[in-house]
A and B are shown apart, each in its own frame.
Chain A
């Protein structure tokens, strides 16, 4: 624990955790569909940077990129699914209003 706090990567890791938590908060708090994208960008950046930092501090630069890429792909799929659900709901609401 002490070695982590005194290390070079502690502040970057803290920053990425803040980004992740802020993204989660915006995602939960906001009910408007358009805020899903900024929230997801924050969340995925926080997670990817954190993953990259953990692995990179062990001297594995290529693996850091590889794992960060995998995390980015997973979060992108998550974002696209969320967007698809929300857009479909908006469409249905619009159709209901028109009806």
Chain B
């Protein structure tokens, strides 16, 4: 029986390959996206979130179908966009985006290192009480606000930048 580490590594690699293929191969993109979404649901199962795995498979399935139908609708416009986008794509933007992505990567790891193995054990309490204790813990910890707030800020920043990129202003 392979270990959890090996399963995680293999599935992550497969997801990355399928996503790359779904971006690269325009005609079959929804199929590769479907496969990667299926693997994502398996990751949920392995990480112990069973209910989330079921819900995520429904949501990701819905998104895949939505992509298929919406893509069909805007097919002509899309072909025209390819020329416009490749012209604007330059090295400076690539570096900036890589910097933000790596910052997110480092922050997410730091988030784990900061709060991992320190959470208070709440035994013999109800479900809502345990959530309350954990919520209090997260708010009172000094490291967590310094990590969560920049993470949320980065996600919003990336969203704004992505919209600006589409406008061609950045």
Contact = CB atoms under 8 A, between A and B. Distances in A.
Contacts of B134: 63
A11 B2 CA distance: 14
Interface in A1-50: 1, 3-4, 8, 11-22, 24-38, 40-42, 44-50
The range of chain A's interface size is: 35 or more
Contacts, number: 197
B33 A38 contact: yes
Contacts of B119: 55, 58, 60
A64 to B, nearest CB: 5
A42 B108 CA distance: 14
A3 B101 CA distance: 26
Nearest to B32: A38
B interface secondary structure, majority: helix
A18 B60 CA distance: 19
Q: A-side binding surface: helix, strand, loop or mixed?
A: helix
Interface in A51-99: 52-66, 68-69, 72, 76, 78-79, 82-83, 85-87, 89-90, 93-94, 97
Interface of B: 4-5, 8-9, 11-12, 15-16, 19, 22-23, 29, 33, 36-37, 40, 43-44, 46-52, 55-56, 59-60, 63-64, 66-67, 70-71, 74, 77-78, 81-82, 85, 88-89, 93-94, 97-98, 100-102, 104-105, 108-109, 111-113, 115-117, 119, 121, 127, 130-131, 134, 155, 158-159, 161-163, 165-166
18 contacts: A4-B116, A15-B8, A25-B101, A28-B100, A29-B97, A31-B85, A38-B29, A42-B19, A42-B40, A46-B108, A52-B52, A53-B47, A54-B112, A56-B48, A57-B116, A68-B49, A78-B159, A90-B74
